[in-house]
Structure 1
Amino acid sequence: MQDKLSVMGGRVLLLVCAAAVGVMAGVLDAVFGRGILLCTQVRESRPLLMLLLPAGGALICFCYDRFGGDCRRGMGLVFETADARRDHVPTRLIPMAILSTWITHLFGGSVGREGVAVQISTSAAGLIMPRLPDARARRHLLTAAVAAGFAGLFRTPVGAIFFAMELFHVGMMEYAALLPAAAAAFIASAVSGALGLERGGVLLTCAVPELTLPTLGALVVLGIASGLAGRLFVFLLHGLKDRLGRLLPNAYLRIVLVGAFVAVFGLLTAGRYNGLSTGLSNAALAGESLYAWDWLVKLALTALCLAAGYQGGEVAPLFTIGASLGVVVGGFLGLPLPLCAALAYAAVFGAGTNTLVAPVLVGMELFGGQYFGCFFLVSLVAYACNGNHSIYPQRSLPDFWKDGAVCASGEDTH
């Protein structure tokens, strides 16, 4: 009887801690997310700010060198904590990641935000984690923190729960972490929403396509394209990090030169691919035509910025890449363009992160549950085509990059 009470007490304690992490993550995500929107508005009203991107990159390098310690490794710290190689993610990561990402967005780096949201939420959980009684409970709280960070930023709690559950083990889920992850995710989403952070996506009004053989074939083609796009992003991201590290070993020179290129390119293209590039995804989801190369340019520019050392995330760019690709491929498939954009929006995210359940649920939360069958099929095919590759090198190291494993894992994806 005493053992049962002890177990029950441990579960209640974990739920209380997960709820606390959800509140902290919701507040931090609201501040962080609204700050990014403000930086974007300022940059779009003053495009010449992009000329300061090299100086911003040098400032980021200086801050991490002077104050960051091992925070430069970003998501690597989260995976080390999950593997019990460290007690918690350091708290100093919160200001370092937030401020450096704001700088990157203010001056036009082509990056996202999800990776930083996960880092700051797991760092906040580090204030509580050492107080938990055992390693298993700490791991479950870490999973809850990942779910809270994702849910607080994107306002998709169900997808966030399963993203967190899929993150640490390929093809496996630890269902014992489901309840604390759900508590943290729903609370974080509610808190960030109450603080004014809006959810993206639009509920589509397209008719649900009947799954006839031609439709199934079209969805399979879209899934293949999405899977290959996600795989290409992973290839470029890891490959450029290694190649740039070898060609330009000086971190300051590397980030300044890449920043100068991105700034000039941004001015020549009117900032089309800088920052979050939500204009591309919004146009795609509205069924508007885009350039056939929009998805590829966004993919390459994001991989380049992240490889050079600019801070941000990969998921929002993956969303944009997917939506832009979906419109292009959808033009040949005979399906509604907004639906193709939404399906690829989710599927490219799944292919890039090597997850299956999360993209299906995120797509349904953002665009409508009536398209479940379409989201499932396209995401399944994309997952099968990505070849077990992931933007997180600790999770699955690409076969084509095993000779660069030390470099790839030594400095993690942001």
Structure 2
Amino acid sequence: MENFKKKSFTVLKYIAFGVVIGVLVGAIDTLFGRVLIAITDFRTDYYLFLLPFLPLAGLLITWMYNKFSAVSLKGMSLVFETGQSKRNSIPLPLVPLVMIGTWITHLFGGSAGREGVAVQIGATLSHRIGRKFHFSNNERVLLITGMSAGFGGLFQTPLGAVFFALEVIVAGYLEYEALLPAFIASIVACITSHTLGLEKFSVNVTDTLDLTDYKVIIFLVIMGIAFGLVGRLFSYLLQKSKDFMKNKIKNPYVRIGVVSVPLAIILIFFYGGRYSGLGTNLISASFSGGEVHYYDFIVKLLLTIVTLAIGFQGGEVTPLFSIGATLGVVLGNLFGISPIVCGAIGYVAVFGSATNTLIAPILLGVEVFGVANVLPIAIVCIIAYIVNGNLSIYSSQQKAMFGFEE
């Protein structure tokens, strides 16, 4: 009886924790997301006036971090290190710094994402609140709950968010103790952000692939290999580029100020800011019959890597979505099968490969594109995950083999 009461109390405590974090993080996600949308629209209209100031924007971001919390520059690494018991806490100044830094990056045309911001905000607040009110002694439970709320509230994909947070800290190991509070937090964050006016991106894909046709199966295998290699390439180049920039240009002001000059020039003259920002314009083109170039995916990949490697703020996931979607459309047209379906598969498979996650991208595919193509999505994601070979955009991600962490 005593054991039952103890377990019941733990369940109620986790539910309460999930609700609190879900509401708080969902509200902040809404603020962050709606301002980012407004900034993106403004930059799209006035990119010729804003992009030339990208180097100055970079200097401002670097100054802010060094002035108020230099350690916060480590970003997602702080979340991973805390979850792996390598550090005790995540600095609270990270929350406003990463939000403002990302807004500035996008306003002046840097090629970056947004999920890193939401995940860092969620993890920071969840860890701080969870510790203060003793919701759990398990560091990973606290972090995974917040990460789920951050990702889920921003993208409004609660299942994908939960399993992304569960899978990503230690690849190959799932902290099932965190499942209940993470699920509650993700659902509540989604409801909160939606209620406050943040819209979900989704495409009702009704086209299907004929899996009884052996040619389609062959094409799916080829796509799995291609998406896996692109995710692997992104992860490899991102880590190598960050190391190269830090080693070759040690002064962060010189690094971001000088390198962003040619970056700004390229972003201006490559189709008028086409590759600036999140890449949602490329995603829209992929699923609305817009113009998609065969080189879109590689140009977006390279420019995002340079933007993040020199110190601009943001994330990688939305650019990865655009890279996968545009490549998928190109391959679909090449193979003579539905480019919309191939774009949807690429959207999640490249993300899964680059983050070294498997369950999350499959669930994300269902939540964004519906259930009509869940089997081909799963097939390609599995192949891409295998081809990736345990590389990740997150350098601090640990790997677990047979239940033992490396």
Distance 2:56 2:375 in 1: 48
Question: 8 Å contact 1:132–1:138 — kept in the other structure?
Answer: no
Q: Which amino acid is the alignment partner of residue 70 of structure 1?
A: V
Corresponding residue of 2:402: none
Q: Which amino acid is the alignment partner of residue 24 of structure 2?
A: M
Corresponding residue of 2:18: 18
Question: 8 Å contact 1:321–1:345 — kept in the other structure?
Answer: yes
Question: 8 Å contact 2:356–2:392 — kept in the other structure?
Answer: yes
Secondary structure at 1:158 match in 2: helix
Mapping of residues 299-318 of structure 1, within 5 Å: 299-318=301-320
Secondary structure at 1:322 match in 2: helix
Match of 1:298 among 292, 297, 300: 300
Mapping of residues 173-188 of structure 1, within 5 Å: 173-188=174-189
- Asked if residue 6 in structure 1 is aligned to residue 12 in structure 2, the reply is no
Report the CA distance between 1:194 and its aligned residue.
0.7
Distance 1:326 1:387 in 2: 21
Q: Deviations over 1:4-43 (max 9, x none)?
A: 3233213321221121111111001100011111111111
Secondary structure at 1:351 match in 2: helix
Report the CA distance between 1:260 and its aligned residue.
1.3
Corresponding residue of 2:239: 238
Corresponding residue of 1:365: 367
Question: 8 Å contact 1:77–1:89 — kept in the other structure?
Answer: yes
Question: 8 Å contact 1:162–1:357 — kept in the other structure?
Answer: yes
Corresponding residue of 1:66: 67
Corresponding residue of 1:40: 40
Q: Which one is further off, 347-356 or 262-271?
A: 262-271
Report the CA distance between 1:76 and its aligned residue.
1.2
Corresponding residue of 1:330: 332
Count of aligned positions: 397
Q: Gaps (5+ residues) in structure 2?
A: 400-406
TM-score of the two chains, using structure 2 as the length reference? 0.94
Secondary structure at 1:370 match in 2: coil
Q: Which amino acid is the alignment partner of residue 326 of structure 1?
A: G
TM-score of the two chains, using structure 1 as the length reference? 0.93
Corresponding residue of 1:216: 217
Report the CA distance between 1:376 and its aligned residue.
0.1
Secondary structure at 1:13 match in 2: helix
Q: Which one is further off, 84-93 or 328-337?
A: 84-93
Distance 1:218 1:132 in 2: 52
Question: 8 Å contact 2:224–2:381 — kept in the other structure?
Answer: yes
Q: Which one is further off, 75-84 or 115-124?
A: 75-84
Q: Which amino acid is the alignment partner of residue 103 of structure 1?
A: I
Mapping of residues 68-83 of structure 1, within 5 Å: 68-83=69-84
The 1:396–1:74 alpha-carbon spacing in structure 2 relative to 1, beyond 3 Å, is same
Distance 2:364 2:246 in 1: 35
Distance 1:69 1:46 in 2: 32
Q: Which amino acid is the alignment partner of residue 328 of structure 1?
A: V
Root mean square deviation, CA, Å: 1.5
Q: Which amino acid is the alignment partner of residue 226 of structure 1?
A: F
Corresponding residue of 1:406: none
Corresponding residue of 2:118: 117
Q: Deviations over 1:338-391 (max 9, x none)?
A: 111110000000000000010011011101112110110010111011111000
Q: Which one is further off, 365-374 or 259-268?
A: 259-268
Q: Gaps (5+ residues) in structure 1?
A: 398-414
Instruction: Give structure 1 regions of 4+ aligned residues with deviation exceeding 4 angstroms.
Output: 132-136
Distance 2:232 2:41 in 1: 32
Corresponding residue of 1:105: 106
The 1:30–1:137 alpha-carbon spacing in structure 2 relative to 1, beyond 3 Å, is same
Mapping of residues 160-179 of structure 1, within 5 Å: 160-179=161-180
Q: Which one is further off, 101-110 or 325-334?
A: 325-334
Question: 8 Å contact 1:14–1:141 — kept in the other structure?
Answer: no
